[in-house]
A and B are shown apart, each in its own frame.
Chain A
């Protein structure tokens, strides 16, 4: 990757040097006439002569200097202006950000060429080109940098820096600027393209170097009339300009190429399903289905699946094991980058071929309820249109289905999805799926996306279909309790993992471990004006693992961010080691910053892409532990070993690590300062099963040393390792102690 970037830089530097210094190689005086006008290429002049009989080759060699230098200056000024504006707008936000953005939008609404031309009345040409590039280019840079800065502000590495109490300047210089360097440089290179266009246009308009001095832009206009006599006089400067512009575009794209992650990032295991029953009488027959990704790696292989009329078949397996991929491959609706490379699908004895054939089959016989059914509704259509679309059914039938699902069909008929509640939207999607009474019904993780009432309706529909002698229901789920409830037959995907993720149980824990290390009372949390939690309480003892479960949007992550000091709550009291602690980060003492460490859910954003692992791990002890650079770096190998990583990884960039390795590094960064409380936000959700199991085992070891862990999760198997589980019920903003599982009360 770096080699490709280096080659592009070398190429551009060479091109620029040729454009600027090419005049030294000119065989003739570029301003002197050497023959008749527009002589075709010949012995004395390899590219012929121009309108005034001057040597075209000499003029092309010499004609790029002023133009290129002006464009370079303009690009630098515009790039820096955009960078400064973007940093300010993105970091300050609020009113400053809005005003800067409004000014940028104003300039973007006007053609920069026009602005430059107007300015050319009063300013000399190079200044007008610079001003035009700033007006036309800086706003683009401002927007890009602003968005990148906003993204970085929310990224795990910036939040980690804030949590260790670094100053704003240090965060901008150490964390934000390096992380956006690649994209911002790519953008600045594009400013050069803009400046080059302006510069060429100005030269052509006669605003550049005055004749007879050579200029590529002016050469184009001068020689236009002689195109038939000596085309080389036009082609040569045009080619020079094109090469320069394309070299810049190439450099820009070299800066945007993301670092390629290692092959070990790929799925470790290939999923497969072997349905052993004989295929007689099955309505759905899937034989030898194989799906590969872009790189030719198999995702699922040799899937055999049979379903008999009236049967409910469940496919279970770990997340990331290929359940959804399998079913999507059967339906021929694979996502981008995945391809079905083998196997057949047959429905009622007829082969369903991918393409048109499969599309007609889906329309006539298949109903699919997605993981997020409410999100699959077109926001521009009314309920009636949504339900009826694609079915050849009457509105009366649609109303009947809606009513059957407990919706007031007449009242909702014309409403659009955003005018429905979340539960209503889920039912509308369900009604659409059930309306055709599809021969094959596919439910993708119904327990994770649906609220309990909608889930009951789904179960009712499944019950109705069971044993009706014609329809088949496929359920994909990782929720074993649900599967046991509804399925006639359960198929497991994937090779069984020897290291069971649920292995570390709550065995060695239980007894009172002394005073709570963290205690919260009367916590009220809100986000965007909506109350998420009210009057919630919580305590955490040393060595304890408390899991927080709840539907998305219930405020699980917000709770952790509040405890970490990143999201001050509306009300509430907090004690750490029995001492009262302020909520905002800025008011917390250094020891408190050290004691509570947050690890986020997104391993990709947790580490600064520009910092090597060693740098990331050495920083917290320097800031919070008062260690010197050398001391901090000396502790890195030990930290890496502690989280089960090879110390040699310290020299790698995050882009060169796998997801599981990144998450372990993020954990190591949190452990580097010796915290007593770990706030873990879905730290296993982005990992494959083996990596998740390893991480949970590691947590178990750390708890043995007295580390208290508060862990947000949606995965019940992860929650099963916890000493206690807190439920954040959806839309009921309370940490309800009555619904607390296990033996200890939440308060």
Chain B
């Protein structure tokens, strides 16, 4: 069991190295580098060379990757090419808003997902097909459509909520929760449908296992069968689906934040992509990837802990 935990940690670490290299490599593809961006194309070749030396850009890519990685580990993500401010500070400013938004979305999505997965998985054969198709259909609709639909219903028709979610300059985003409602729902609905589709299959597989059928045949009450013979086997798949959902949600936050004008990390990411502000893009992407990898590692660890065959092996 301890071995499984170590393996999960090592795997996450390895994935982190791979992902950070991927992110770094992607931004390396840019034809212009930081020196050109800063000088805005007005400098001479000599000035550029000097600046590159000052920024360490003349070193080979792998050395720059390593020093960037080392900086990240110390919480130093470099300085923005556009604002000249430390990237870490810019990220820290936006982090609470995004955490609040994704937290609210998860709070809606997870119960909805679990409920629909249970319904899909335990439905009679006649209903399982249509229910699963419904989940697939809902998950197929682009996120932006959900956002637009919610605005039309709750803002244009009912007039309950503002169509855009501008945050107050000061204070916590929770002080006035109204701007949070539509973005959270727009994030939660497709995520719940996607997760329900994945988890519904796991539920259906579990309830068909022989020991569950036997428990039903022995006349145990439904709640007892569910709690003792079905739920323990769903822990690991649920954790995995939750980790995936949380990751997808974090990425989708970029779209939803842009759509509603909500000043979070996603909005920072997208606007930095527009200005080719690579240090910011790198930092936000790596942060999101770390969150996803941590979630996956926790899910793997949970899976190892609830593995019925783990006990007795060292």
**Is B29's CB under 8 angstroms from A122's CB?**
yes
Bound together, the chains give a CA A426 to CA B21 distance in angstroms of 53
In the bound complex, residues from chain A placing their C-beta under 8 Å from that of B220 are 363, 389-390
**Is B148's CB under 8 angstroms from A220's CB?**
yes
In the bound complex, residues from chain B placing their C-beta under 8 Å from that of A246 are 137, 140-141
Q: A333 contacts which of B126, B142, B213 (Cβ < 8 Å)?
A: B213
Bound together, the chains give a CA A196 to CA B27 distance in angstroms of 24
What sequence of 0s and 1s flags, for each residue 129-161 of chain B, a beta carbon within 8 Å of any chain A beta carbon? Answer: 000010011001111110111011001110100
CB neighbors of B among A218-266 (8 A): 220-221, 224-225, 227-228, 231, 234-235, 237-238, 241-242, 245-246, 248-249, 253
> Does A378 make an interface contact (CB < 8 A)?
yes
In the bound complex, residues from chain B placing their C-beta under 8 Å from that of A120 are 273
Contact stretch, chosen from B59-67, B170-178, B244-252? B244-252
**Is B143's CB under 8 angstroms from A121's CB?**
no
CB distance from A449 to the nearest CB of B (A): 11
10 A-B pairs in the complex with CB atoms less than 8 angstroms apart: A200-B142, A224-B164, A228-B156, A231-B152, A231-B156, A234-B152, A238-B149, A238-B152, A361-B219, A377-B211
> Does A123 make an interface contact (CB < 8 A)?
yes
Q: B144 contacts which of A200, A364, A376 (Cβ < 8 Å)?
A: A200
**Is B255's CB under 8 angstroms from A111's CB?**
no
Bound together, the chains give a CA A405 to CA B214 distance in angstroms of 21
Bound together, the chains give a CA A336 to CA B255 distance in angstroms of 43
**Is B137's CB under 8 angstroms from A370's CB?**
no
CB neighbors of A among B297-314 (8 A): 306, 308-309, 311-312
> Does B221 make an interface contact (CB < 8 A)?
yes
**Is A119's CB under 8 angstroms from B289's CB?**
no
**Is A110's CB under 8 angstroms from B19's CB?**
yes
Given the known inter-chain contacts A109-B296, A364-B219, A379-B308, please indicate yes or no for A217 contacting B144, CB distance below 8 A.
Answer: yes
Bound together, the chains give a CA A190 to CA B140 distance in angstroms of 8
> Does A337 make an interface contact (CB < 8 A)?
yes
Bound together, the chains give a CA A487 to CA B246 distance in angstroms of 60
Interface size class of B (residues with CB under 8 A): 35 or more
**Is B255's CB under 8 angstroms from A113's CB?**
yes
Q: A196-B142, A248-B140 are in contact. List 20 more A-B contacts (CB 8 A).
A: A109-B296, A110-B289, A113-B254, A117-B281, A118-B22, A120-B273, A121-B29, A220-B148, A221-B144, A225-B163, A227-B152, A228-B159, A231-B157, A234-B148, A242-B141, A242-B145, A363-B218, A380-B308, A390-B218, A390-B220
In the bound complex, residues from chain A placing their C-beta under 8 Å from that of B288 are 111, 114
In the bound complex, residues from chain A placing their C-beta under 8 Å from that of B29 are 119, 121-123
Bound together, the chains give a CA A376 to CA B273 distance in angstroms of 56
CB neighbors of A among B212-227 (8 A): 213-221
From A419, which residue of chain B is reached at the shortest CB distance?
A: B312
**Is B218's CB under 8 angstroms from A362's CB?**
yes
Q: B219 contacts which of A114, A245, A363 (Cβ < 8 Å)?
A: A363
CB neighbors of B among A496-547 (8 A): none
What sequence of 0s and 1s flags, for each residue 55-93 of chain A, a beta carbon within 8 Å of any chain B beta carbon? Answer: 000000000000000000000000000000000000000
What sequence of 0s and 1s flags, for each residue 265-280 of chain B, a beta carbon within 8 Å of any chain A beta carbon? Answer: 0000110011010100
What sequence of 0s and 1s flags, for each residue 29-73 of chain A, a beta carbon within 8 Å of any chain B beta carbon? Answer: 000000000000000000000000000000000000000000000
**Is A204's CB under 8 angstroms from B218's CB?**
no
Bound together, the chains give a CA A333 to CA B22 distance in angstroms of 54
> Does B232 make an interface contact (CB < 8 A)?
yes
> Does A205 make an interface contact (CB < 8 A)?
yes
Bound together, the chains give a CA A738 to CA B147 distance in angstroms of 77
CB distance from B254 to the nearest CB of A (A): 6
Given the known inter-chain contacts A201-B255, A224-B164, A376-B214, please indicate yes or no for A113 contacting B137, CB distance below 8 A.
Answer: no
**Is A220's CB under 8 angstroms from B308's CB?**
no
> Does B40 make an interface contact (CB < 8 A)?
no
**Is A114's CB under 8 angstroms from B250's CB?**
yes
Bound together, the chains give a CA A361 to CA B148 distance in angstroms of 54
**Is A333's CB under 8 angstroms from B217's CB?**
yes
CB distance from B299 to the nearest CB of A (A): 10
In the bound complex, residues from chain B placing their C-beta under 8 Å from that of A201 are 142-144, 255
CB distance from A365 to the nearest CB of B (A): 9
**Is B141's CB under 8 angstroms from A109's CB?**
no
From B147, which residue of chain A is reached at the shortest CB distance?
A: A220
CB distance from B217 to the nearest CB of A (A): 5
**Is B276's CB under 8 angstroms from A224's CB?**
no
**Is B247's CB under 8 angstroms from A110's CB?**
yes
> Does B87 make an interface contact (CB < 8 A)?
no
> Does A98 make an interface contact (CB < 8 A)?
no
Interface size on A, residues (CB 8 A): 74
Q: A359 contacts which of B137, B219, B276 (Cβ < 8 Å)?
A: B219
**Is B140's CB under 8 angstroms from A370's CB?**
no
**Is A331's CB under 8 angstroms from B273's CB?**
no
> Does B293 make an interface contact (CB < 8 A)?
yes
**Is A333's CB under 8 angstroms from B229's CB?**
no
> Does B18 make an interface contact (CB < 8 A)?
yes
> Does B285 make an interface contact (CB < 8 A)?
yes
Given the known inter-chain contacts A249-B136, A249-B137, please indicate yes or no for A118 contacting B285, CB distance below 8 A.
Answer: yes
Bound together, the chains give a CA A530 to CA B164 distance in angstroms of 66
In the bound complex, residues from chain A placing their C-beta under 8 Å from that of B233 are 380
> Does A638 make an interface contact (CB < 8 A)?
no
Q: A376 contacts which of B159, B211, B248, B255 (Cβ < 8 Å)?
A: B211
Bound together, the chains give a CA A372 to CA B159 distance in angstroms of 61
CB distance from B156 to the nearest CB of A (A): 4
Bound together, the chains give a CA A419 to CA B312 distance in angstroms of 8
In the bound complex, residues from chain B placing their C-beta under 8 Å from that of A196 are 142
In the bound complex, residues from chain B placing their C-beta under 8 Å from that of A109 are 15, 244, 247, 292-293, 296
Which of B214, B285, B289, B311 has the largest count of A CB atoms less than 10 A from its CB?
B214
Bound together, the chains give a CA A190 to CA B194 distance in angstroms of 13
CB distance from A441 to the nearest CB of B (A): 13
**Is B140's CB under 8 angstroms from A111's CB?**
no
**Is B211's CB under 8 angstroms from A117's CB?**
no
> Does B92 make an interface contact (CB < 8 A)?
no
In the bound complex, residues from chain B placing their C-beta under 8 Å from that of A121 are 26-27, 29-30, 273, 276, 278, 281
**Is B308's CB under 8 angstroms from A106's CB?**
no
**Is B219's CB under 8 angstroms from A366's CB?**
yes
CB distance from B259 to the nearest CB of A (A): 6
Q: B155 contacts which of A228, A294, A361, A364 (Cβ < 8 Å)?
A: A228
In the bound complex, residues from chain B placing their C-beta under 8 Å from that of A372 are 210
CB neighbors of B among A185-210 (8 A): 190, 193, 196-197, 200-201, 204-207
CB distance from B78 to the nearest CB of A (A): 15
> Does A460 make an interface contact (CB < 8 A)?
no
**Is B251's CB under 8 angstroms from A113's CB?**
yes
> Does A153 make an interface contact (CB < 8 A)?
no
**Is B270's CB under 8 angstroms from A117's CB?**
yes
> Does A418 make an interface contact (CB < 8 A)?
yes
**Is A224's CB under 8 angstroms from B260's CB?**
yes
Bound together, the chains give a CA A418 to CA B155 distance in angstroms of 58
In the bound complex, residues from chain A placing their C-beta under 8 Å from that of B164 are 224-225
Bound together, the chains give a CA A363 to CA B214 distance in angstroms of 12
CB neighbors of A among B91-130 (8 A): 124-126
> Does B228 make an interface contact (CB < 8 A)?
yes
> Does B258 make an interface contact (CB < 8 A)?
yes
> Does B23 make an interface contact (CB < 8 A)?
yes
**Is A220's CB under 8 angstroms from B219's CB?**
no
**Is B26's CB under 8 angstroms from A362's CB?**
no
> Does A635 make an interface contact (CB < 8 A)?
no
**Is A193's CB under 8 angstroms from B219's CB?**
no
From B129, which residue of chain A is reached at the shortest CB distance?
A: A253
In the bound complex, residues from chain A placing their C-beta under 8 Å from that of B31 are 122
> Does A368 make an interface contact (CB < 8 A)?
yes
Given the known inter-chain contacts A109-B293, A113-B248, A121-B273, please indicate yes or no for A238 contacting B145, CB distance below 8 A.
Answer: yes
In the bound complex, residues from chain B placing their C-beta under 8 Å from that of A253 are 133, 136
**Is B144's CB under 8 angstroms from A204's CB?**
yes
CB distance from B183 to the nearest CB of A (A): 11
CB neighbors of B among A620-678 (8 A): none
From A237, which residue of chain B is reached at the shortest CB distance?
A: B148
In the bound complex, residues from chain A placing their C-beta under 8 Å from that of B259 are 204, 220-221, 224
From B312, which residue of chain A is reached at the shortest CB distance?
A: A419
